[in-house]
Amino acid sequence: MSEDGAGPAGSHRTEAQAGARKTALAVRGLSVSYGNVVAVHDATFTVAEGDACAITGPNGNGKSSILMGVTGMVRRKGGVEIFGRPAPNGDVGWAARHGLTLVPERRQLYPELSATDNIILGCYSWTRSIGKARRSASFGRAIDLFPELKPHLKQAAGTLSGGQQQMVAIARGLASDPKILAVDEPCLGLAEAVARRVYDVLASIHEQGTTLIVVEEAPKRALTLCNARVEVRNGVAGAAVAGAA
């Protein structure tokens, strides 16, 4: 985690309001710490269904830790509800089965497995049958979204370029058939042209009806896509006072 050395993140505010739409994700009083280091302190926000929500803020302020806590990759304090159902703490599989899938920072692929195998493992959250996974709509959609991956599908994921690996990671996320796709720093270390391509794909995923949460250090880029924003900032007063909003 890049946030390890961070101080507590103080203020979190939601800018766009959900309106009448259904709440996809509700986070209340979320705190994440690594040992003695508090990475996220008392974050509260909601994401409405169909939103594209950007989580922005400087590096080391706990943006990624929010996603890690929400998806259950790390233990958290506070409540998380996915489509109204309380998510058990630390159970990534449950979150994935109920519609929330993480595309993590630094992609976390399986380097020696082929790109196809990487993507198809996204289906593991809902099936154990490789035949069902191959024939599924979500797997087909994940593959079709990235025509540039076609010639490389049999290649070991570790030998792909950074941009291609990011696409494999997004495709793996889509294969789990998510209702909410949480993408962590999708453009980290990518060339500008590739970053634009990644954002185009995210935009089309959003248009097809998937709720998006994008963690992004550069708010400008994020706001080309997103209609809602959660700002994470290491506030001077907010950090020290418990429950600062």
Partner 1 sequence: MKFGNLLIAGLVTGSIYAVFAVCVSVWYRVSNILNLAVGDFAMVGALGVDNLYRVKGMPLPAAIATTLVVVAIFAFAYDRVVLRLAQDGPRRMEGIVVTFFFTFALSFFIDGVAKMLFGTDVHAAPALWSGQALTWASLHLERAGLLVLACAIMIGGAFWLYIRYTLGGKALEACGENAIGARIAGIDTRRYRWLIFVATAVIAAIFGIVESPITGYTYLSGATISLTGFLAAAYGGFRKPGRALVAGLFIGILEAMIGGYVSAQYGDTVLYAILAALVLTWPRGLGFESAVSG
User: Out of 29, 50, 83, 124, which residue is the one contacting partner 1 (CB under 8 A)?
Assistant: 124
Name the minimum Å distance from CB 240 to partner 1: 26
Contact by Cβ (8 Å): 152, 114: no
Name the minimum Å distance from CB 91 to partner 1: 9
Query: In this complex, which beta carbon is closest to partner 1, that of residue 120 or of residue 198?
Result: 120
Contact by Cβ (8 Å): 50, 207: no
User: Out of 43, 133, 143, 230, which residue is the one contacting partner 1 (CB under 8 A)?
Assistant: 133
- Told to check if 73 binds partner 1 by CB under 8 A, we report yes
The C-alpha atoms of residue 52 and residue 42 are separated, in whole angstroms, by 22
What binding mask, one character per residue, do residues 159-188 give for partner 1 by CB under 8 A, x or -?
A: x------------x---x------------
The C-alpha atoms of residue 190 and residue 179 are separated, in whole angstroms, by 26
In this structure, is the dihedral angle defined by the CA atoms of residues 38, 235, 90 and 122, taken in order, positive or negative?
negative
- Told to check if 111 binds partner 1 by CB under 8 A, we report yes
Strands (E), 58-198: 77-82, 85-86, 100-103, 180-184
CA 4 to chain centre: 18
Query: In this complex, which beta carbon is closest to partner 1, that of residue 19 or of residue 35?
Result: 35
Residues forming the site for partner 1 (CB under 8 A): 35, 71, 73, 92-93, 96-97, 101-102, 104, 107-113, 117, 120-125, 127-130, 133, 156, 158-159, 172, 176
